[in-house]
């Protein structure tokens, strides 16, 4: 990353007794059902009602119901191989499809203990031969009531669940943490990795739900503020408002599956449901909290759009809306006629504190023809020194940056499957003098160097005036001379995000002569949801004579023209490069932090992967 040229009050209708009565039908759901018959629709309705009774107010343990199960690491679906209906049919992962071999009815035979029945076969997920060792295979088998077919399912992060077999106390695991179709699913000692974590997407007669079940913060794409309960009140009828995003429990909502593909949002602190006041169907009716009544004014449809999520009250058909386009903390939230793509009716759902996933599409899979050659999933407890080195200096990065880059755990660490790079406001002195901020800059130089490939990372960004996070590449050998004659590939940069920089990221190439005879070219891109609250996948595809930039699989920038004073085209982008990750503070492009900038700031990286042809 280097020099740039750019600078309620009453009226609730209670349906709860009906929901509880319907819950008794859950046990009849699913076995051998192909999902196409009228009984499937009845089963789905019964399951939805059953969820209302069984889910309660929390997603800490999984609500019962019918689900599509997606591995958090690979983004692939748990699947019965070849849609087998026989005992012993193998359980694997595969690309997600609409086949009932990828649908499972999840019920609780006893408190805290689950069984999973495949909808296509009517058979239970089973540990082969009731094995207790690592590597014992997952298969399907006729339900026999043994603990080899019983699991505990517990949320370990915002919307990620771990399945632990009751008999063996081992975790359901994708073998070798594979990303491939057909990879086997087995049991293995629990290790906290993404290969042992799963998203549960509700499945109803209307299709697979948009969001996996879990705990989320909900933020406005217009104001970038989070949905909160005014004053943290536990009183029914208290308004829901927007507020500066924080770790407060009042900004966390358990997103629970309901009938007909709808969701309920239960506040994590008050345990009350988001509610359209007075069951009103009028535009301008306020969003409040209220004890759950199972009314449709507490049930919401969540629709994915290119501009973010649209949240629609089921009873009125109106959209959740930031009143009067407010950008102020304390601004009211209401329902209003759904109109076009306006940002005050678009929302981001970010999985709860510490989570590494988002309710967007599963991790982007590379196009056909690319093979994985290097990866870091950050599933350990420390930064892998065989893959990453630290740059330690306070030299300003050639951009008059204000931070001191350190190798301290305070500035860079791995936990819960995430690499976190933290910018701190603190006085720090070392061999390059004293600075008022610290951060970290990691690189793969001489540990991972590549000529051509697809370089990809899934990242959630820090924000505020003076923050400059980047995922980028520099030449490993500088064959063509000093910067920028030997080139630079900026896969993703953001400056002053959430402040003057909005929700924009940049993909840029630097080339030409050595400074100051250098030049650059690139484009900005604005993702559909918040770069601060959500993870997004940033990538380049670098091939001879062409470099393409992507965000979340969307191609937004293709470059085929550049030059170097040190050699003929395609120089300088025909030599080895390595990857860098860092968060700079201040510098020529963003300028210095101001009084509105808060610290610490953190860039979270879910993974980095390199593919080649």
Question: Catalytic site residues?
Answer: 488, 493
Distance CA 287, CA 296 (A): 13
CB contact at 8 A, 307 and 289: no
CA atoms within 13 A on the CB side of 489: 35
CB contact at 8 A, 319 and 337: yes
CB atoms within 10 A of CB 414: 19
**Ramachandran assignment for 78, one of left (phi > 0), alpha (psi -120 to 50 degrees), beta (any other):** beta
Q: Output the CA–CA distances (angstroms, integers) from residue 234 to 230, 277, 290, 365, in the order listed.
A: 9, 16, 9, 43
Distance CA 287, CA 282 (A): 12
CB contact at 8 A, 445 and 472: no
Residue carrying structure tokens 């990620």: 160
Who's near 358: CB < 8 A, 6+ residues apart? 349, 350, 351, 529, 534, 535, 536
- For the CA atoms of 140, 146, 149, 150, the dihedral, rounded to the nearest 10 degrees, stands at 170
Distance CA 134, CA 46 (A): 37
Pairing of strands 449-450, 577-585: antiparallel
Quick one: which H or E segment has residue 42?
Answer: helix 38-55
Distance CA 270, CA 57 (A): 10
CB contact at 8 A, 461 and 606: no
Distance CA 525, CA 568 (A): 30
Q: Across the strands, what pairs with 428?
A: 435
């Amino acid at each position: 990353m280097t020099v740039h040229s750019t600078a309620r009050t009453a009226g609730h209708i209670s349906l709860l007794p009906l929901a509880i009565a319907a819950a008794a039908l859950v046990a009849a759901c699913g076995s051998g059902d192909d999902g196409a018959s009228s009984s499937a629709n009845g089963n789905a309705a019964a399951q939805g009602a059953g969820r209302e009774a069984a889910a309660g107010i929390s997603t800490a343990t999984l609500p019962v119901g019918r689900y599509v199960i997606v591995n958090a690491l690979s983004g692939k679906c748990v699947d019965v191989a070849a849609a087998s209906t026989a005992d012993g049919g193998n359980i694997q992962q595969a690309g997600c499809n609409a086949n009932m071999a990828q649908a499972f009815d999840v019920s609780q035979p006893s408190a805290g203990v689950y069984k999973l029945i495949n909808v296509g076969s009517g058979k239970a997920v089973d540990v082969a031969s009731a094995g207790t060792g690592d590597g014992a295979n997952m298969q399907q088998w006729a339900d026999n009531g043994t603990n080899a077919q019983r699991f505990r399912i517990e949320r370990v992060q915002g919307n990620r669940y771990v399945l632990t077999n009751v008999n063996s106390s081992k975790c359901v695991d994708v073998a070798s943490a594979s990303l491939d179709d057909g990879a086997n699913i087995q049991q293995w000692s629990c290790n906290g990795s993404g290969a042992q974590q799963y998203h549960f997407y509700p499945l109803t007669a209307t299709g697979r739900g948009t969001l996996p079940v879990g705990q989320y913060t909900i933020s406005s794409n217009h104001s970038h503020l989070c949905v909160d309960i005014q004053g943290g009140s536990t009183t029914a009828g208290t308004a829901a408002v927007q507020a500066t995003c924080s770790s407060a429990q009042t900004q966390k909502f358990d997103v629970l599956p309901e009938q007909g593909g709808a969701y309920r949002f239960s506040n994590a602190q008050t345990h009350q449901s988001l509610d359209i006041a007075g069951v009103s169907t009028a535009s301008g009716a306020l969003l409040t909290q209220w004890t759950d009544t199972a009314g449709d004014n507490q049930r919401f449809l969540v629709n994915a759009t290119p501009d973010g999520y649209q949240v629609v009250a089921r009873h009125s058909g109106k959209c959740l809306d930031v009143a009067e386009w407010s950008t102020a903390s304390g601004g009211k939230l209401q329902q209003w006629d759904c109109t076009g793509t306006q940002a005050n009716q678009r929302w981001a759902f970010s999985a709860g504190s510490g989570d590494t996933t988002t309710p967007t599409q599963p991790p982007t899979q590379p196009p056909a023809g690319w093979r994985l050659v290097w990866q870091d999933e950050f599933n350990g407890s420390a930064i892998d020194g065989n893959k990453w080195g630290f740059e330690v200096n306070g030299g300003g990065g050639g951009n008059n940056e204000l931070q001191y880059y350190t190798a301290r755990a305070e500035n860079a660490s791995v936990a819960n499957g995430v690499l976190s790079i933290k910018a701190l406001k603190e006085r720090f002195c070392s061999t390059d003098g004293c600075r008022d901020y610290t951060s970290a800059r990691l690189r793969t130089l001489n540990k991972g160097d590549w000529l051509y490939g697809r370089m990809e990372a899934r990242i959630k960004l820090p924000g505020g005036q003076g923050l400059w996070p980047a995922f980028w590449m520099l030449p490993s050998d500088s064959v063509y001379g000093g910067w920028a004659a030997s080139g630079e590939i900026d896969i993703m940069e953001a400056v002053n995000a959430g402040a003057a920089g909005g929700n924009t990221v940049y993909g840029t190439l630097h080339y030409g002569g050595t400074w100051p005879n250098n030049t650059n070219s690139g484009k900005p891109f604005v993702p559909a949801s918040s770069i601060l609250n959500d993870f997004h996948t940033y990538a380049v595809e670098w091939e001879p004579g062409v470099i393409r930039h992507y965000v979340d699989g969307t191609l937004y920038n293709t470059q085929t023209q550049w030059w170097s004073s040190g050699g003929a085209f395609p120089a300088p982008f025909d030599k080895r490069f390595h990857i860098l990750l860092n968060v700079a503070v201040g510098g020529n492009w963003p300028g210095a932090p101001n009084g509105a900038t808060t610290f610490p700031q953190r860039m979270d990286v879910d993974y980095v992967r390199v593919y080649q042809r």
